[in-house]
């Protein structure tokens, strides 16, 4: 294995064919370390890292999707009403934040669990249908309200 | 610290969020993606910002955001993502790796 590629897990797809005697365990460890690097460091323009770019792309897509779905939703209205009623916005925010982090962690874990026994193609179709239904749901809210 | 209010807001938000649109979207995106960590962090960050806005707007008891317009924009966004996932494109082969 060459030294200049080992610290960067992001370049893995390019170097993989050269490393035929590499154990799967080693590859997995590299992927994990690259994910950690992507989590703690901002995007580095000096070395265009595939893994880091992918992380921020997924992060951005998820952020915008969930943020738009959440605006004006019942959770946000609940926090709005509670903070208006009790005049303790930071306590309400702390409780809501803890609940939302827990539910999004649950959501991602359920998604990963589904991916263990569903083919990627099936999962793509299911995700597409789910997002289309959410779209219809939002439009129905607009028409009704 | 008002633990009663903290618990109340946790339970209220947790229950109203289970099976909700944003959790379904997190399930769909998390199962689909190569980096679930990014999906989790993105979802958590979005929900924190959204609830921060809710708290601020609630405290000032003013309607700052036209929710109807935001929902229309969101609906269009979801429809675009759904079409992209359902149509076989070069994107899906990239994700299959």
Closest residue to A67, CB basis, from B1, B50, B78? B50
Query: Looking at residue B72, what is its pLDDT?
Result: 76
Question: What's the rounded Cα separation, in Å, for the pair A61 and B39?
Answer: 8
Question: ipTM value of the model?
Answer: 0.71
Chain B residue numbers with beta carbons less than 8 Å from the beta carbon of A58 are: 29, 33-35, 38-39, 42
CA distance A142 to chain B (A): 6
Query: Looking at residue B45, what is its pLDDT?
Result: 92
CA distance B73 to chain A (A): 8
pLDDT tens digits, one per residue of B83-97 = 877 876 554 444 443
């Amino acid at each position: 294995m060459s030294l200049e590629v080992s610290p960067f897990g992001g370049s893995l797809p390019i170097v993989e064919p050269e490393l035929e005697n590499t154990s799967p365990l080693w590859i997995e460890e590299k992927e994990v370390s690259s994910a950690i690097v992507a989590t703690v460091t901002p995007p580095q323009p000096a070395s265009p890292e595939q893994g880091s770019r992918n992380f921020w792309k997924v992060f951005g897509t998820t952020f915008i999707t969930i943020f738009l779905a959440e605006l004006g939703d019942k959770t946000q209205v609940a926090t709005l009403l509670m903070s208006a009623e009790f005049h303790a916005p930071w306590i309400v925010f702390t409780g809501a934040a803890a609940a939302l982090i827990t539910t999004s962690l649950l959501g991602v874990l359920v998604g990963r669990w589904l991916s263990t026994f569903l083919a990627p193609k099936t999962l793509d179709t299911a995700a597409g249908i789910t997002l289309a239904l959410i779209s219809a749901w939002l439009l129905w809210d607009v028409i009704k309200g | 610290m008002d633990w009663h209010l903290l618990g109340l807001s946790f339970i209220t938000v947790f229950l109203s969020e289970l099976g909700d649109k944003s959790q379904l979207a997190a399930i769909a995106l998390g199962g689909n993606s190569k980096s679930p960590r990014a999906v989790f962090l993105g979802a958590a960050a979005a929900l924190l910002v959204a609830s921060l806005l809710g708290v601020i707007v609630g405290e000032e008891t003013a309607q700052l955001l036209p929710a109807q317009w935001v929902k229309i924009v969101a609906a269009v966004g979801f429809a675009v993502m759904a079409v992209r996932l359902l149509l076989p494109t070069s994107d899906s082969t990239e994700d299959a790796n």
